[in-house]
């Protein structure tokens, strides 16, 4: 994935066609919108529309001219100047500004140019100019754009729809969601737009406004293609996918529903060539409202902290635990001194709900907790050893060096084998394995263990919820799983990187 690129007047030319994702970045160009909503006055609603949806149903407009006339004055062009070392791993091929956390891997995958260097090979400083998009959210000049548009900017200027240019300052940024709040330095009252109160539905109309290729305010239209997209940009990915064309320079621009309210902020596109192919990604309005409120109040975002390392519940893990569906987040390990540890959350617990709301997967839990404020009291629903429990706890404040992390890897295997494909030895007998568990000293490359991700050097700590210290312990735990009719057995494994759960498919007893 890539964020769509902004136009840099002094940046190197010739973006690689191999890149698959473009940031809509460095300077956020936006349009401010006066008023907050169009109505469906005079338009009849379908007979099948329920009363609950009547207020939010969007009927097909004959055109978007009236909507655009209302919202376009609130969208602004954002121009930035950056004076900093050119770091290849943090810029796209056009020399655009630093990418949001987690997106660098896409550019590494699809190629990077050589890094300009100064004397003795040190990174050379270069003045970078960029343009992006943004939009006013209040009459006193507060505006929203992308973090990657204004990050590390020496100065920021915005140009409104009438061509007037103003100086602006960065109030706060949030790299984890790629959002930034800026404020125009003026006593003038500006037209503005509001965030939508309801989430869009797949198929709803959407109108995107921005500054593609530095051409100035441009409008495109399409529909909401999908919701809940995870593009690997960060731990709180929950993007809205739209097919309204979004190109370089659209970063930070708003996407409107048919009522003229902002449903999302344009932030990234998928493209093999750099241009729009009808796959764009927007930060949802609900996320933006929460982040912007904290940026305005604190200049940064205070997120709640549960303090657990988690992974998704795969179908094999679900089977090994006797779950009917592969939902929830399994706790690899509670972090020392965290709210989870203090509340007695244990490795192997499956978190299935927060305050009664079901948790779909590990990333859903990360987003749920990340959207809350520190010191919030919550009730977790857990599955432990086949029993459903509830646990009250108070969330902490996320330490600055930490962020919620959900492991989205899958360790399932589909072919059941009559043997594990492992050679084991007590950990105490293997140098460097520690004193607990059973060490993996060899892995059959054709066995189910290898297919499930086991590697030489791993240490198996638990099998089926029971601590193991010998091969006999492992065999007994597996036999017990067979007797219970399990098709897989859950193991807690210490790897070179961390401790996690791995489900190993079982053959016939």
What is the predicted pLDDT for the residue at 234? Answer: 59
- pLDDT of 111 strictly over 60: no
Average pLDDT over residues 39-55: 46
**CA 160, CA 239: separation in Å to the nearest integer?**
27
**CA 202, CA 223: separation in Å to the nearest integer?**
8
What is the predicted pLDDT for the residue at 419? Answer: 63
Non-local CB neighbours of 10 within 8 Å, separated by 6+ positions:
95, 126, 127, 128, 129
What is the predicted pLDDT for the residue at 233? Answer: 58
Q: Is 291 helix (H, G, I), strand (E, B) or coil?
A: helix
What is the predicted pLDDT for the residue at 145? Answer: 94
pLDDT tens-digit readout, 372-389: 888 999 999 999 988 899
pTM beyond 0.95: no
Whether residue 15 contacts residue 5, with contact meaning beta carbons closer than 8 Å, is answered with yes
**CA 250, CA 506: separation in Å to the nearest integer?**
51
Buried-exposed string 63-72: b where 16+ CB fall within 10 A, e elsewhere:
ebeebbebbb
Which are the catalytic amino acids? 148, 178, 251
- Structural domains in the chain, CATH included, are 1-46+55-300 (2.40.10.120), 304-397 (2.30.42.10), 422-505 (2.30.42.10)
**CA 504, CA 206: separation in Å to the nearest integer?**
45
Residue 427 phi, psi (nearest 5)? -55, -35
The gap from C-alpha 78 to its chain's centroid, in whole angstroms, comes to: 24
Q: What is the DSSP string of 151-217?
A: TT-SEEEEE-TTS-EEEEEEEEEETTTTEEEEEE--SS------B-SSPPPTT-EEEEEE-GGG--S
Q: How confident is the model at residue 453 (pLDDT cuts 50, 70, 90)?
A: confident
- pLDDT of 62 strictly over 80: no
The neighbour count for residue 483, using CB atoms within 10 Å, is: 9
Residue 324: exposure state from Cβ atoms within 10 A (0-12, 13-18, ≥19): exposed
pLDDT tens-digit readout, 457-506: 889 998 888 889 888 888 888 878 877 777 788 888 988 767 888 888 87
What is the predicted pLDDT for the residue at 142? Answer: 96
**CA 306, CA 365: separation in Å to the nearest integer?**
10
Average pLDDT over residues 31-52: 42
What is the predicted pLDDT for the residue at 34? Answer: 36
Give the chain's end-to-end CA distance (angstroms, integer): 45
What is the predicted pLDDT for the residue at 56? Answer: 52
List the Cα angle 412/416/420 in 5-degree steps. Answer: 85
What is the predicted pLDDT for the residue at 426? Answer: 84
Whether residue 218 contacts residue 211, with contact meaning beta carbons closer than 8 Å, is answered with yes
Chain-wide mean pLDDT for the chain?
Answer: 75
Q: What is the DSSP string of 107-155?
A: HHHT--PPPPB-GGGPBPEEEEEEEEEEEE-STTSEEEE-HHHHTT-SE
Whether residue 494 contacts residue 458, with contact meaning beta carbons closer than 8 Å, is answered with yes
Q: How confident is the model at residue 254 (pLDDT cuts 50, 70, 90)?
A: very high
Q: How confident is the model at residue 439 (pLDDT cuts 50, 70, 90)?
A: confident
**CA 146, CA 181: separation in Å to the nearest integer?**
8
- pLDDT of 431 strictly over 80: no
**CA 128, CA 389: separation in Å to the nearest integer?**
55
Of the ranges 37-41, 53-57, 230-234, the best mean pLDDT one:
230-234
- pLDDT of 63 strictly over 90: no
Average pLDDT over residues 244-264: 89
**CA 180, CA 291: separation in Å to the nearest integer?**
9
List the Cα angle 316/320/323 in 5-degree steps. Answer: 90
Q: Is 76 helix (H, G, I), strand (E, B) or coil?
A: strand
Residue 490: exposure state from Cβ atoms within 10 A (0-12, 13-18, ≥19): buried
């Amino acid at each position: 994935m890539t964020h769509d690129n902004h136009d840099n007047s002094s940046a190197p030319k010739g973006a690689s066609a191999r890149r698959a994702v473009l940031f809509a970045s460095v300077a956020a160009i936006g349009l401010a919108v006066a008023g907050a909503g169009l109505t469906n006055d005079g338009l009849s609603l379908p007979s099948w529309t329920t009363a609950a949806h009547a207020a939010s149903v969007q009927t097909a407009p004959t055109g978007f001219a009236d909507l655009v006339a209302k919202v376009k004055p609130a969208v602004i062009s954002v121009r930035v100047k950056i004076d900093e070392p050119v770091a290849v791993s943090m810029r796209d091929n056009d020399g655009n500004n630093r990418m949001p956390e987690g997106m660098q891997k896409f550019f590494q995958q699809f190629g990077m140019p050589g890094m300009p260097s100064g004397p003795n090979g040190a990174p050379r400083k270069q003045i970078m100019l960029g343009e992006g998009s943004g939009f006013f959210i209040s009459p006193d000049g507060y505006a929203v754009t992308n973090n990657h548009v204004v990050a590390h900017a020496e100065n920021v200027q915005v140009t409104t729809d009438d061509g007037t240019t103003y100086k602006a300052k960065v109030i706060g940024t949030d790299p984890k969601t790629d959002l930034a709040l800026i404020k125009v330095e003026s006593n003038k009252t500006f037209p503005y737009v509001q965030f939508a109160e309801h989430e869009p539905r797949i198929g709803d109309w959407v109108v995107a406004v921005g500054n593609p290729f530095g051409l100035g305010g441009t409008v495109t239209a399409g529909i909401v293609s999908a919701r809940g997209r995870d593009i690997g940009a960060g731990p709180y990915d929950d993007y809205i996918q739209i097919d309204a064309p979004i190109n370089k320079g659209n970063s930070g621009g708003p996407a409107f529903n048919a009522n003229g309210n902002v449903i999302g902020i344009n932030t990234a596109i998928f493209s093999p060539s750099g241009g729009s192919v009808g796959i764009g990604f927007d930060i949802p309005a609900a996320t933006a409202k929460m982040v912007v409120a904290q940026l305005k109040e604190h200049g940064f975002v205070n997120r709640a902290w549960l303090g657990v390392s988690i992974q998704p519940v795969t179908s094999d893990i679900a089977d090994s635990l006797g779950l009917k569906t592969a939902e929830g987040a399994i706790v690899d390990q509670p972090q020392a001194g965290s709210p989870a540890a203090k509340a007695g959350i244990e490795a192997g617990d499956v978190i299935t709900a927060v305050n009664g709301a079901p948790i779909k997967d590990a990333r859903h839990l990360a987003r749920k907790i990340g959207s809350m404020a520190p010191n919030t009291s919550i009730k977790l629903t857990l599955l432990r050893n086949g029993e459903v429990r509830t646990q009250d706890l108070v969330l902490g404040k996320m330490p600055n060096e930490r962020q919620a992390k959900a492991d989205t890897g899958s360790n399932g295997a589909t072919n059941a084998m009559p043997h594990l494909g492992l050679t084991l030895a007590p950990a105490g007998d293997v140098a460097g394995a520690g004193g607990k568990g059973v060490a993996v000293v060899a892995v059959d490359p054709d066995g189910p263990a290898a297919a499930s991700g086991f590697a030489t050097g791993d240490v198996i700590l638990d099998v089926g919820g029971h601590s193991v210290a010998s091969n006999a312990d492992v065999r007994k735990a597996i036999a017990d799983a067979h007797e219970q009719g399990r098709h897989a057995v859950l193991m807690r494994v210490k790897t070179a990187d961390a401790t996690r759960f791995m489900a190993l498919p079982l053959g016939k007893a």
